[in-house]
Structures are given as C-alpha cells and as structure tokens.
Structure 1
Amino acid sequence: MAKPSFPPVEKNLLRGTGPQGHRERMRHRVLTNGAETLADYELLEMLLYYSIPRKDTKPLAKALLHRFGSLASVFDASGRDLRAMGVSEQAILLLKFPPVVAERLALAEERLRPRLGSWDQLCSYLSGSMVSAVPEQFRLLYLDNRNRLLADEPVDDFASTAPIFRRGLALQAVALIGIQKTLASFHATTSPLKLFAQRLSHEAGALSMTLHDVVIVSERRTPLSLRQRGLL
C-alpha cells in the first residue's frame, strides 16, 4: 500500500504566527485602514513595538491602561510609575513624545483655524485681520461645526447669494459671519448691507447654515454687531 503524500507547507503560511506575525498584521491594518481604527490598547501596543523588540507588547499595553485608566494618563505617568510597571527606559522615552506632538499640532491648528465661537474671540481675530482689510469691502468668514475658521473671503457682489452658498457647501461650512470695514459713519437701519444680511440669514437656514452675525469694523469705534442691534 502506497504511503499517503502531503503537499509541502509553504513558509508564508507560518509567517502569521507569533508576536512578529501579529505585528505584521497590525502594520498592514494601519496602512490599509488608518491608525484611527485602532483601540487605545492597540495604539499603545504599536508604540511599544519600537522599544520592545521580539516580544508581545499587548499584555503590557493592557496592563498600563488598567493601571492608569486611560491612554492620556499613561502618557502623563511619571518615569518612576512606568518603571514600576516594567516599562524599559527606552519605552518610557518613547511615551513622552505623543503628548508633546499633540500639543504642538493643536497650537498649529489654532493658529491656522482660530475658534470664533464668542464675541471676544471674534473681536480678537478682527483686531489682527482687519488691519490690512480693504475699506468698504464685505467679507465672509466660513465656520465649521465647532466655530473654527475655514475661510475668510471677500464678497464682491450683493446681487446674488448663490456663489456664497456654493462656496459654503464646498467648504462644508455650517455657519457664516459677515464683516465690513468702514471709514465713514455707518447707519445700520438704512444701509443696503442690512437688507443683504437679512436675506443671507433667511436663505442660509434653508441650507442648514447659520448666519451668526454681520459686524461693522471702524478704526475709531468698537465693532458694531447687527445681531446685537436686533437687525438680524
């Protein structure tokens, strides 16, 4: 009776076993789907890969989260407390970088996209941005759902609101603020800007947008809000 034969086992079938195979699968997952798909322990696990070679870092990642309560708390933990959990000096050094990077990215984002969710924040923005603004030019600030600035752009024609809303939809804006710098005295009740602002406010609602305000900026007076005046 002939002995049964079995096909040879390919090496790549064994490649997925052990810690190294797990790391390869995790890398592939991040490259394919993005790091945002990872759970907190998986993010920590992958960070620890680069300071703890040839060892499964999942148990340590889960133990750190259990001990300190959150990913942020792990990053904030002292070197002494991390060493007590068995974390190496090299791994401790690596864990000190994410909070610094996150803080600097947040500061850069704040400079590029300032938050304009209050009157004080808006006035602070205008004090810098309106210095070089063209007098009598109407500008629109497009904001996201957290009142962060998406764009600050001029509006050259009051005849149509369509270009404004096309731009707003392209930016995925949910709110608008109108700004005009004036050198002359401004009469809010008789200005064509008041009528345009009221039209803009009405039409914005149909597109699930909000006109927060229209503000008149003068070099000699404090900014004038049409909404505060009851004109919107």
Structure 2
Amino acid sequence: MRGAGLTGAQGHRGRMRARLFRYGAASLADYELLEMLLFHTIPRRDTKPLAKSLMHRFGSLLAVFRATARELGALGLNDRSVRILMFPAIIAERLALSEARRRPRLGDWEQLSTYLAEVMTNAVPDRFRLLYLDNRNRLLADEPVDDLTNTAPVFRRALALQAVAFIGVQKTLAPLHLPTSPLRLFAQRLSEESAALAMILHDVVVVSERRPPLSLRRKGLF
C-alpha cells in the first residue's frame, strides 16, 4: 500500500520536512532542527534521541554547533555527523565576516579613518556624504546629500533605515572656510535637530589629500 511509506522513521522525516517548508524553522524545536541535520548522515535510524542527547549535553543549539570535533566524536557520532554539525558554525563565521565588511563599525576615530581611507579616494570633491549608523555604530548606508539647506530628507532616510546616528564626510581639494561655510551651518542644524529626535551627529569630517582628516567636532565648530 502507498500509505505504508508514511509510517516509521521515514514518515516522521517526511512530516518534519513538510512542516519546515510550510511553516518555517520557527515551527520546529531546536532539537528537531538537529534531527533534520542528522537525517543526512544517519539515513535509517531515529535521530530524535541523539538530537535530544546533544541538547542535554551542550545546553543549547548554538553550543552544539560550536562544539569541537573531539567533543562531538566522544558522544559516538560518526565522522559525517560531526562534520555536518560543525558546518553551521563555519557558515555563520563566514557570514559574520561578510557582514562586517559590508557594515563596518565606525565607533572611534581609528575605525572611521580606516573606512575613509578606503572609500574617499574616488569620492566626488566638495560633495557632502552622510554615513547612517545603527545603535552599535555600524554602517547602514553611505549616501550623498545634495541639499545642505534642508534636513528633512536626511531624517526621513534615517527613519527608513532605523538609523540613530550620523557622520558627515566631505572631500575637498582646496582650503575650506569652515567658520562661514554652508557645511558648518548644516552640521550645526543637523546636530540640533538630531537631538530632538533622539539621534546624534557624531562628527563631520573634511578629507583632503593635502592634510589629515579634519574633525569639525574636535574643532568645536558645531
């Protein structure tokens, strides 16, 4: 009978796969996710006891994935099972590195200087750019601001990105008359209005090939 194939371990596996694809990973307990990984290396045996044993031994799904090959092997897992349980941590580390490159943290002057050295070489001179940051000072977006008389577009964009902080950057090829420049006035306005929205303008930095980056904040210019 065709229905006979839906009983036993194979039927259980089929039902779990169907639940995962229909309702997503949130519909499965942590030990069930381990079960499904072990399906690929233990084809004919019920993997639920082993999955529950791993959760009991290490305490959490994350701890299982972070376990060493020696720790996993000591529980009697075969080499293929050990490798597949270590694979999520390898992927997570690679993704974290990729995310760090895409969204660098700009929480101090050294981190900011490193970022600017990489991206400002080909920047358009005298074009103001705004770095939108999250609550951990990670970069959300690096975008030009063409109108230094209107802050409304900046705040609309910040709300869309869920940004809570800014750093302004401008490359110049000539000396900038900071005390009276539109840049300084825009920085003052942006700083004042950011505070009212529980945001913060960390700094505005002028970058030049002829001198080190100049911080308007450190100069007390806003």
* TM-score (normalised: structure 2): 0.85
* Coordinate RMSD, CA, aligned: 2.6
137 and 36 in structure 1: CA distance in 2 versus 1, 3 angstrom threshold: farther
Shift of 1:18: 4.5
Shift of 1:24: 3.6
Matched, 1:182 2:172: yes
Deviations 1:164-219 (A, max 9, x none): 22222222222211101112223433322111111112222344432221111121
Query: CA–CA distance in 2 between the matches of 1:206 and 1:31?
Result: 45
Shift of 1:122: 0.9
Task: Write out the 4+ residue segments of structure 1 that deviate beyond 4 Å after TM superposition.
Answer: 36-39
Structure 2 gap ranges (5+)? none
**SS of equivalent to 1:157:** coil
Larger deviation, residues 71-80 vs 170-179: 71-80
Shift of 1:36: 5.2
* TM-score (normalised: structure 1): 0.82
Task: Give the structure with the larger helix fraction.
Answer: 2
Larger deviation, residues 135-144 vs 39-48: 39-48
For 1:30-109, list aligned pairs within 5 A.
30-35=20-25, 38-109=28-99
> If you compute each CA radius of gyration, which structure gives the higher value, 1 or 2?
1
Query: CA–CA distance in 2 between the matches of 1:42 and 1:194?
Result: 58
Matched, 1:202 2:192: yes
22 and 118 in structure 1: CA distance in 2 versus 1, 3 angstrom threshold: farther
Query: CA–CA distance in 2 between the matches of 1:158 and 1:80?
Result: 60
Identity of aligned residues (%): 66
1:155 pairs, out of 140, 145, 150, with 145
Shift of 1:21: 4.2
Q: How many residue pairs are counted as aligned between the two chains?
A: 221
Amino acid at match of 1:83: G
Look up the match of 1:126: 116
Query: CA–CA distance in 1 between the matches of 2:116 and 2:29?
Result: 41
